[in-house]
């Protein structure tokens, strides 16, 4: 049954406060989805001031920009500009290249760590929107990535999340500059990550080298693929394929991995539409989780919207995920619940409920919602 926007709002009010059992109608019209995007993003921005340029806030901003592209709401662009200005259009702030690092680190010296580079995606988007270009917006992105490419190292992307954080920066910079070196280095770094983390039987990615089977297993002995980690990769591949020229010599590797993941993930979706935190072992950390589910839903919707994934095969998957996202994850006030806190694995006994939210979880929801809007 389809509701008008007014009736949908009434339904939200009537069924608020009923937890995961409340009955709501999934939004299936462009008008309804647009309303949800605005409700969720406005709720977040009215309750959260822009913060630093680390991965969690920066990942949200990538989705905030998608919300701007879909809605044209100038407040979203202004929010991103304030955030970028607050961080001086930088990620990690060290200017001493001799101390730059790319292992895990939250301090100024970890300039080459991908969690400090995802911010460049939004800086580039904002630069591209300028009628009069302001070079300071992309100066740090160019400085950092050009320095990184000048090194002989190829192991910069050693964890699954990094394929969302940093990989699309390379394709965006290629589109901006026309310099194919960005694509060739992206391919080199991706091959390292793929060799390290991709399981050629399951067609999924381990979160990092610590979790590779059989060195690491779930409590019941299964391979342990973390839903948000694979969501990062699936979404990252979608963002890369959006900008990667189809005639690029290594295009087929990225396309193949994207399609392999789509098939593998579709087989592991729960009946309620979500993916559990440990994809192949639902009992490791049972129950719904939004961030992984939303990133995965985004990947499916983008793939179908762009003629890469077969709609007859994958539309039912995306519809089930969207039903979960709008009927369970979306809260009456526009908040997004059931987001696993910052971490790197499925944790037995960890409570994730309607009050569990985060900037990156809201971002994941918005990415999926924007692609759902485009699909209608």
Give catalytic residues, as residue numbers.
161
C-alpha pair distances (Å), 346 with each of 87, 154, 355:
32, 28, 18
Is 208 in a helix, a strand, or coil?
strand
Tokens matching residue 217? 């297993």
Three-class SS state of 168: helix
For 59, the enclosing helix (H) or strand (E) is helix 55-71
Neighbouring C-beta atoms of residue 200, cutoff 10 Å? 7
Return d(Cα 112, Cα 332) in angstroms, integer: 40
Q: Is the peptide bond before 214 cis (omega within 30 degrees of 0)?
A: yes
What is the per-residue DSSP string for 221-249?
S----BHHHHHHHHHHHHHHHHHS-TTST
Q: Are 92 and 113 in contact (CB under 8 A)?
A: yes
Residue with tokens 């913060």: 51
């Amino acid at each position: 049954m389809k509701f008008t926007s007014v009736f949908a709002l009434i339904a939200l009010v009537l069924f608020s406060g009923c937890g995961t059992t409340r009955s709501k109608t999934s939004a299936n019209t462009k008008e309804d989805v647009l309303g949800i995007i605005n409700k969720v993003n406005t709720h977040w921005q009215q309750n959260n001031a822009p913060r630093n340029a680390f991965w969690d806030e920066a990942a949200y901003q990538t989705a905030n920009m998608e919300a701007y592209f879909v809605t044209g709401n100038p407040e979203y662009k202004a929010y991103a500009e304030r955030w970028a200005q607050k961080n001086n259009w930088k990620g990690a702030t060290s200017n001493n290249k001799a101390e730059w690092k790319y292992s895990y680190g939250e301090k100024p010296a970890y300039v080459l760590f991908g969690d400090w580079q995802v911010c460049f995606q939004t800086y580039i988007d904002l630069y591209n929107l300028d009628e009069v270009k302001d070079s300071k917006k992309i100066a740090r992105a160019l400085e950092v990535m050009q320095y990184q490419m000048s090194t002989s190292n190829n192991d910069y992307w050693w964890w699954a999340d990094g394929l969302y954080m940093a990989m699309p920066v390379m394709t965006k910079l290629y589109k901006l500059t026309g310099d194919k070196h960005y694509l060739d280095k992206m391919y080199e770094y991706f091959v390292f990550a793929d060799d390290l983390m991709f399981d050629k039987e399951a067609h999924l990615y381990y979160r990092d080298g610590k979790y590779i089977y059989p060195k690491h297993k779930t409590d019941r002995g299964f391979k342990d693929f973390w839903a948000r980690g694979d969501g990062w990769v699936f979404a990252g591949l979608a963002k890369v394929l959006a900008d990667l020229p189809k005639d690029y010599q290594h295009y087929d590797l990225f396309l193949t991995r994207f399609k392999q993941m789509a098939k593998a993930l579709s087989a592991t979706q729960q009946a309620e539409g979500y993916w559990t935190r440990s994809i192949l072992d639902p009992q490791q950390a049972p129950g719904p989780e939004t961030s992984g589910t939303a990133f995965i839903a985004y990947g499916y919707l983008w793939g179908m919207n762009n003629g890469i994934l077969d709609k007859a095969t994958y539309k039912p998957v995306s519809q089930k995920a969207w039903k979960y996202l709008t009927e369970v994850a979306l809260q009456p006030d526009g908040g997004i619940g059931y987001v696993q806190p910052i971490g790197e694995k499925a944790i037995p006994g960890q409570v994730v409920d309607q009050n569990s939210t985060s900037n990156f979880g809201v971002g994941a929801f918005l990415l999926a919602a924007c692609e759902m809007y485009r699909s209608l």
